[in-house]
Amino acid sequence: MKAGVLFSGGKDSALAALLLSPFTKVELVTVSFGIIPNDAATLAQILGFHHVMISLEKELAMTSIDTMINDGYPNRGLNQVHKTALERAAECYPVVADGTRRDDKAPLLTLQEARSFEDRMHIDYIRPLLGYGRRTIDGLAAELLDFIYGECISFDYEVELRQLMESSYGRKTVNRVFPKRHLQSKVTGRKNANFRVAEA
Amino acid sequence: MKAGVLFSGGKDSALAALLLSPFTKVELVTVSFGIIPNDAATLAQILGFHHVMISLEKELAMTSIDTMINDGYPNRGLNQVHKTALERAAECYPVVADGTRRDDKAPLLTLQEARSFEDRMHIDYIRPLLGYGRRTIDGLAAELLDFIYGECISFDYEVELRQLMESSYGRKTVNRVFPKRHLQSKVTGRKNANFRVAEA
């Protein structure tokens, strides 16, 4: 089996890929609105994985932004985009994975949504980090990856949606909808290769 | 870090151990009431892991059986035993893991119970299979493990509790509380070693 792992450049999605890699062939998939240029392909190469870009339509970004503004918080809008990203990846891979974690709030599919996604798209959906708490993930990431922290430095949808919301509706709207700080991790390298990546 | 993985002899707990093994030192931990003799140590050796037995008191078995009989179904009683088993393992290991899956009903800790367990016992609790659906797990297990299916052939608490309930309250009570069939898997070997187990 070959798994397409959604890759935002952050430590969680990189760790999800590493956890799968001894057992299945892994490709990193970056889904993007093309609003902000990204170095996902370079990072994937550093991590030792093939990389694929998938583009999402700006219309989806605007719909998701409308949802966020109506709700007054970003979770539901982020989930809309994440579900679409998963579906696009599911058109290309028999197994789709992401870096969502036990302690995440959004994006995060419910149990029913995860099952429905698998049944509807005839794929296997794996969330390698779902059984891990935040502290465990941070420890494991520190052991296996080099990464930095900063404001809006990864290339997940949230960064793009914030920027598009700001250019369309102004900074005040962004500040009302999103939390003030958006500290993100970004991988810069791989520390430890004392396990073997499975052959295709 | 060293993880103690609860091991019932079934494919799920064996697979949970295998998924962790490239990243951390793993020991298999079989928690038992001592009601039925088991070959857990031999199976662990076949899988290539150290093995530890932990005994639970018969009083807990009787309490759990009372809960099941009062409830008319086994879930809450099984969860009581599973939580105690996890706590006993947490006294011996900084990281505790089990083979509970996304699609399981019992034993299965809720998100709040999992967090509380970590905070209370100062350990990391990992459920490697929580992000995997049943079909994915069956596929991965078939790739990595040899196993058989049969009625009550593994040595999890359920088999022991059924037997103790039958000897204490008769078969009619067992048939009222538990589902008729209890098809279980039991590992018999390891198929694929094309990944390297991490050093301690």
pLDDT per position as a tens digit, A2-52: 999 999 999 999 999 999 999 999 999 999 999 999 999 999 999 999 999
Judged by a CB distance cut-off of 8 A, whether residue B94 touches chain A is no
Identify all chain B residues contacting A133, using CB atoms and an 8 Å cutoff: 114-115, 118, 124-125
What is the least distance, in Å, from the CA of A43 to any CA of chain B? 21
A194 interface with B at CB cutoff 8 Å: yes
Question: What are the beta bridge partners of residue B102?
Answer: none
Question: Chain B residue closest to A3 (CA)?
Answer: B136
Q: Do A2 and A200 form a contact (C-beta atoms < 8 A)?
A: yes
Contact B194 A195 (CB under 8 A): no
Residue B78 binned pLDDT confidence (cut-offs 50, 70, 90): very high
Model confidence at A152: pLDDT above 90: no
CB contact, 8 Å: A113 with chain B? no
**What's the pLDDT at B200?**
35
**Which tokens in the block code for residue B54?**
């932990």
B139 contacts in chain A (CB < 8 Å): 1, 124
A124 with B102: Cβ contact below 8 A = no
CA A21/CA A200 separation, integer angstroms = 10
Residues of A in contact with B199 (CB under 8 A): 194
Q: Which residues of A touch B129 (CB under 8 A)?
A: 131
Q: In terms of Cα–Cα distance, which of B87, B14, B19 is closest to B54? A: B87
Chain A, 41-60: which have a CB under 8 Å from a chain B CB? none
Q: Supply A84's token pair.
A: 């679409």
Q: What is the 3-state secondary structure (H, E, C) of chain A?
A: CEEEEECCCCHHHHHHHHHHCCCCEEEEEEEECCCCCCCHHHHHHHHCCEEEEEECCHHHHHHHHHHHHHHCCCHHHHHHHHHHHHHHHHCCCCEEECCCCCCCCCCCCCHHHHHHHHHHHCCEEECCCCCCCHHHHHHHHHHHEEEEEEECCCCCHHHHHHHHHHHHHCHHHHHHHCCCCCEEEEEEEECCCCCCCCCC
**Cβ–Cβ under 8 Å, residues B6 and B29:** yes
Confidence band of B198 (pLDDT split at 50, 70, 90): very low
Q: How many CB pairs under 8 A join A and B?
A: 83
CB contact under 8 A, B127 and A125: no
Give the pLDDT score at A197: 46
> Rounded distance, CA A43 to CA A22, Å?
19
Does B195 contact A at CB distance below 8 Å?
Answer: yes
- Complex ipTM value: 0.94
Would you tell me how many other CB atoms lie within 10 Å of the CB of residue B130? 24
Smallest Cα distance from B195 to chain A, Å = 5
pTM of the model: 0.95
Q: What pLDDT is attached to residue A200?
A: 35
* Residues in B touching A124 (Cβ below 8 Å): 133, 135-136, 139
- Tell me whether A126 touches chain B (CB under 8 Å): yes
- Give Cα A100 to chain centroid, integer Å: 7
A130 touches chain B (CB under 8 A): yes
What local confidence, expressed as pLDDT, does residue A154 receive? 86
Cis-peptide, bond into residue A37, ω within 30° of zero? no
Strands B2-6 and B25-32, bridge-based pairing: parallel
Contacts of B59 (CB under 8 A, 6+ apart): none
Residues 6+ apart with CB under 8 A from B64: B77, B78, B80, B81, B157, B161
pLDDT recorded at residue A85:
98
Closest-CA residue of B relative to A118 is B133
CA triplet A5, A23, B192: central angle to 5 degrees?
A: 165
Comparing C-alpha atoms, which of B198, B152, B197, B155 is closest to residue B178?
A: B152
Which residue among B22, B114, B127 places its CB closest to the CB of A22? B22
Q: How many CB atoms lie within 10 A of CB B136?
A: 23
Q: Give the integer Cα–Cα distance in Å for B157 and B88.
A: 14
For the stretch A127-148, pLDDT in tens is: 999 999 999 999 999 999 999 9
DSSP-derived letter for residue B198 is P
pLDDT digits (tens, 9 = 90+) for A116-131: 999 999 999 999 999 9
Q: Is A93 on the interface with B (CB under 8 A)?
A: no
Contact A148, A136 (CB under 8 A): no
Share of chain A above pLDDT 90, in %: 89
- Give the best residue of A2, A21, A109, A195 to mutate against chain B (max B CB count within 10 A): A195
Question: In angstroms, how far is CA B185 from the centroid of its own chain?
Answer: 12
- Examine the pLDDT at B112 and tell me if it is beyond 60: yes
Say if CB A99 and CB A10 are below 8 A apart.
Answer: yes
The 8-class DSSP code of residue B155 comes to: -
